[in-house]
Amino acid sequence: MSKQLDAIMRPKSIAVVGASTKEHTIGSDIMKRLQEYKFNGNIYPVNPKGGVIEGIQSYTNITEIPGDVDLAIIIIPAKFVLSTLDECNEKGIKGICVISAGFKEAGEKGAQMEKELAAKLKEYGMRCVGPNCLGVVNTHPDIRMDGCFAETLPERGNIGFVSQSGALGGGILNILKDLNLGFAQFISIGNQADINAETAMEYWENDSDVEQILLYMESIQNPSNFRELATRISKNKPILALKAGRSAAGASAASSHTGSLAGADKAANALLAQSGVIREYSLKNLFSTAKVFANCPIPKGDRVAIITNSGGPGIMATDAICESGMQIAQISDQTREKLISFLPAAASVKNPIDMIASAPIEHYKQTLETVIADENVDMIITIYLPFLGLKDIDVAKALMEIKKAHPEKPVIGVFMTKSEFFTEISNMEVNMPFFMYAEEAAEGLKRLNEQRLWVERPEGKIPSYNVDKEKAAKIIKQSLAENRAQLTTLESIDILEAYGIRACKYGLATNEEEVAKLGNEIGYPVVMKMTSKTTSHKTDVGGVRVNIQSEEQLRAEYQDLIEKLTEKNLIEGLEGVIIQEMVKGSREMVCGIATDPQYGPMMMFGLGGVFIEVLKDVTFRIAPLTDVDADEMIKSVKSYELLKGARGTKPAQIDQIQETLLRLSQLVSDFSFIDELDINPLLISEKTGEGIAVDGRIKVRLEEAKEALGGCSCSCDCCSC
């Protein structure tokens, strides 16, 4: 286990700076919590007035404390915190928890103090939780530290819990007992001047006391570091996250389809998915899932058996399991024969197994024991409805007795009974989760299965292709020389070609004769597209003409285009027209890149064409992509069924489409200043099944691009850039 936070999370002595005798103050509450929870170490109250606080002699200054101090919990006005750190350093204290508020959350002056706080921590080699936080807790019997001011004492469990919100964290700690959940350690990270969620995750990575990690986050400070850590840690223990702040504000300002469909939450969702983090969207779901992981092993497969004493709930559970993407287990003949031997003739021994309403406790026990032994079953839901005076709590105890003897498979109880049952269960030591409804149980099993699939998922590789990076750079420099962030269609397609992305055969023409020559060389039918330095959305101005069958028609279309652009005063920016081979295909996909200010380049793939922003059948991942990421992107969209060859169409070349995504990922890795990129459509050829880039648009961040390419503002080949 990493030792970097031991001074904070496993202290042998604590100084409470700001300890108080005044009731209902944080300084008083912290002292009481440490004592009531029976901290296994020395407590040193610090208060400038001295005296006795909660029965312990206090000190007017940290340096007066006679013994060594591992952790200082600081609860004083913000303006005194920096000088207190100096005293802590003099005393040799390395663990700090600043509960005090009034830092960056309070404005510019507070932000400056927090900056100075961070600098002192680094200078003194200290680790710090906060400022502006609830505190820290460790329930291990050797530690027993409740260093926070939540109203109730912590319950012992196996969860490592990080909360960015102090108040919310406190509220959660207060209700954990009602949820029948306990935790091993709790860290309220507050403003994250030093310790953040990633620090806590890394600290808990090899801590056997923490078997699952829960995160409440409002931001992710370092997405790339989070991804690296979470990807590794989640292979060994589940990470559940509630990420708040799902607004997509700012996406509407984007100029590309990819950009307009992206947003901060899309990026967060992609990052968590790529990191193996199970994301929940409500506290209720977060703790329901935590309850399942706290009491269930990871299953070996996705086959679910349902045991019930009522047909209706059994059917509803079946529906919920199927809708969650899992399988209803095929009960073995041997299991069915054994069930028949003790269940009444009216019972159904198919899955769901209906023991009928008159089922006594003994039938619950025998049926569960028999089904657990079936090798075709990976997970079990046991449903109870109150009938014939059978007591719910007695049934629950009987099930837990069987579960204790057979801990190898997940078992979830669905008890459609009075709420008093769940109150009673919350005061018991349980070894399986209980829910009111079958849908909740199915969701819990789905999460277990997701963790299983993640653990089994191959690591994936980031390939490197042989590309013409110099050609791409030269094309971008030409745009920069003209101070254009938006590359022309021709420039965009040329860059895609330089990176080995299959595009239509094409050529640029600047007059009617060149147009006719290109059309004849490529072969009809062809497509004609305008390429302009001032007009990016070609279809809006009639700049795309398709299915041109002859030279005569091509000339006529060109003449008409020039006439229309002249009428609309758009002719000045016209670079020419691109003549392309016309690829036949009814399946239009899209792939692209959009840049999130915090998370960086995001890759998109999905159903393209003119309805992209209406149907929104797209998925996102953070670059760089692994081959596994790219494969999952393609298979996760609903339109994947079209790619497989629905209704007699030729199956798409999935490997080639995957390679297209990976080449785009390499492109944005090589040129990180690419802000937006669209290939729409990526047309699936009816003839070959290839994904062919029919159109492309690239936009760069101008100043960043100039700096990256050496500040060049010319298009010559003689400069060093």
pLDDT tens digit sequence for 471-499: 999 999 999 999 999 998 889 999 999 99
Give the model's pLDDT for residue 647.
Answer: 74
- Answer whether 189's CB lies under 8 Å from 162's CB: yes
**Residue for token pair 């399991």:** 321
Residues 442 and 338 grouped into a single domain: yes
In a domain, 222, yes or no: no
Residue 259 in any domain: the answer is: no
For the segment 357-404, what is each residue's pLDDT rounded down to a tens digit? 999 999 999 999 999 999 999 999 999 999 877 999 999 999 999 999
CA atoms within 13 A on the CB side of 367: 33
Which token pair is 467?
């590309």
> Cβ(45)–Cβ(16) under 8 Å?
yes
Q: Is residue 276 part of a domain?
A: no
In a domain, residue 232? The reply is no
Q: What is the pLDDT at residue 251?
A: 38
Would strands 52-53 and 42-46 be described as parallel, antiparallel, or unpaired?
A: unpaired
Q: What is the pLDDT of residues 531-558, one digit of tens each?
A: 888 876 677 788 999 999 999 999 999 9
Task: Name residue, tokens 């999952």.
Answer: 632
Question: Per-residue pLDDT for 1 more than 50?
Answer: no
Q: Which among 398, 441, 396, 403 is positioned nearest to 420, based on CA atoms?
A: 396
Count: domains in the chain: 4
**What is the overall mean pLDDT for the chain?**
92
Q: Is 41 in the same domain as 102? A: yes
Strand partners, 489: none
pLDDT of residue 121: 98
Does 435 lie in the same domain as 489? no
Which of the residue ranges 78-87, 296-305, 542-551, 566-575 would you say has the lowest mean pLDDT?
566-575
- pLDDT score of 612: 79
CATH assignment of the domain containing 542: 3.30.1490.20
Answer yes or no: do 64 and 181 share one domain: yes
CB 229 within 8 A of CB 166: no
544 with 610, same domain: the answer is no
Q: What are 691's strand-pairing partners?
A: 684
Cβ pair 257, 698 in contact under 8 A: no
Q: Which two tokens stand for residue 190?
A: 């507050």
pLDDT at residue 264, rounded to an integer: 64
**Average of pLDDT values for 102-111?**
94
Residue 352, preceding bond cis, omega within 30 degrees? yes
**Mean pLDDT value across residues 410-415:** 98
- Domain carrying residue 431: 297-456
CB atoms within 10 A of CB 502: 20
CATH number at residue 108: 3.40.50.720
User: 210-244, pLDDT tens digit by residue?
Assistant: 999 999 988 888 999 999 999 999 999 999 999 88
Residue 158 to residues 205, 292, 300, Cα–Cα distance (Å): 13, 12, 22
- Tell me the three state secondary structure of residue 33: helix
Residue 267 reports pLDDT greater than 50: yes
- If asked whether residues 318 and 357 sit together in one domain, one would say yes
Q: Which of 526, 548, 581 is the last residue of a domain?
A: 581
